[in-house]
Amino acid sequence: MIKNRLLKDIFFGTEIEKLDAGTSQVISILNNLQDFADIDRKDWENILDIVKSFFKSPIKGRFGGPITPGDAFFMAAFLAAKRPKSVIEVGVCAGVSSAFTLYAGRKLGLLKEGRKFLHSIDLLRFHGPAKNEVGQVVRLNHPDLLPYWNLIVETTMPDAVLHRPDILNAIRADQPSLGFIDANHMHPWPLIDTLAMTRMLPKNSWVLHQDTQVMERWLANSVELGVPCPTPCRGGNLVSTLWPGQKVIGWGMCYNMAAIKLDVTSEEIRSFSENAFQYPPEVGNAEAMSTGITIEEILKDK
């Protein structure tokens, strides 16, 4: 809850009590998409109920920067509209987004016995000196959903795509058709993760990006808490702005989410990548180079 008067007209995304009003504009925007043609008023009410019921009790074991109810609403909308057999997620941390994806998947009737509904990748196994376990929110709050989850730690998307056929094949076997990226938000990581997604998902898939307006969030935190704002981080914003295909920018309470559709040609992906890679890296040159990734490698065999 924001207390600072200067911020009274902006959303953080956490205002669950404002979910109905805070998502009405994004519903109108999504209703204009062909992919949402079958989603009617009852479906939207169901999506709102799913978000409210997930966030109604305190979430045990959460840490890091989890998704908000506003983000979750945007994610659930795409789950309901596209009804994927499985989903690929990058960036797990405590696992709030993982738990929500599995929870919403069950409520929407998308889980199937013997099939992993969610394949999640994270760079780490533990976080910080307290050694908080990546993904612990699912285990602590929704242990019944664990059989539908494939958690892959100490891996990155380019690593999985380029060097780990075991991981790639296990994910592809479950026919994923939706992606969710909430990992390193500094350019070029969201770009690299997006390119890797193009290798794993069919062309009619959507890839959801979280923290596309993370600077808005950080500036609000600075005003609220009186702390310095970190250096700019616009990686997710850059991808959704430059993407050459269909895209949707979150609005209202979903302001920090965007979705891009992979319905583009290899040539369009190539020129998008070349354009985006011209923007200076936010992670520092050495770290950006150490990913060792090239456009040629990512687009190989497309």
The single residue among 23, 156, 212, 256 that binds ligand SAM, judged by CB under 6 A, is 156
| 244: contact with ligand SAM by CB under 6 A | no
Q: Which is nearer to ligand SAM, 192 or 248 (CB)?
A: 192
Q: Which is nearer to ligand SAM, 192 or 260 (CB)?
A: 192
What is the smallest separation between the CB atom of 58 and ligand SAM, expressed in angstroms?
15
| 182: contact with ligand SAM by CB under 6 A | yes
Spatial contact of 217 and 237, defined as CB atoms under 8 Å apart: no
The single residue among 39, 67, 239, 264 that binds ligand SAM, judged by CB under 6 A, is 67
Judged by CB under 6 A, the stretch of 31-39, 64-72, 244-252, 256-264 that binds ligand SAM is 64-72
What is the smallest separation between the CB atom of 279 and ligand SAM, expressed in angstroms?
18
Tell me, by CB under 6 A, how many residues bind ligand SAM. Answer: 22
Spatial contact of 5 and 61, defined as CB atoms under 8 Å apart: no
Tokens standing for residue 241: 């702005």
210 closest CA partner among 80, 78, 67: 67
Angle, vertex CA 248, rays to CA 91 and CA 254, nearest 5: 60
The single residue among 91, 105, 179, 188 that binds ligand SAM, judged by CB under 6 A, is 91
By CB under 6 A, the residues from 114 to 133 that bind ligand SAM are 121-124
What is the smallest separation between the CB atom of 213 and ligand SAM, expressed in angstroms?
14
Q: Which is nearer to ligand SAM, 39 or 298 (CB)?
A: 298
DSSP-derived secondary structure letter, 229: P
Q: How many residues are listed for the chain in this entry?
A: 302
| 97: contact with ligand SAM by CB under 6 A | yes
Angle, vertex CA 248, rays to CA 38 and CA 135, nearest 5: 90
178 closest CA partner among 74, 51, 94, 265: 74
Largest CA distance in the chain: 54
By CB under 6 A, the residues from 268 to 287 that bind ligand SAM are none
CA 185 to the chain's CA centroid: 11
Single-letter code of the amino acid located at 117: F
The single residue among 13, 69, 84, 95 that binds ligand SAM, judged by CB under 6 A, is 95
Spatial contact of 2 and 219, defined as CB atoms under 8 Å apart: no
Q: Name residue, tokens 């520092």.
A: 284
The 184-203 contact track toward ligand SAM, x by CB under 6 A, reads x----x--------------
Spatial contact of 74 and 100, defined as CB atoms under 8 Å apart: no
Contact residues: ligand SAM, CB under 6 A: 64-67, 90-97, 121-124, 134, 156, 182-184, 189
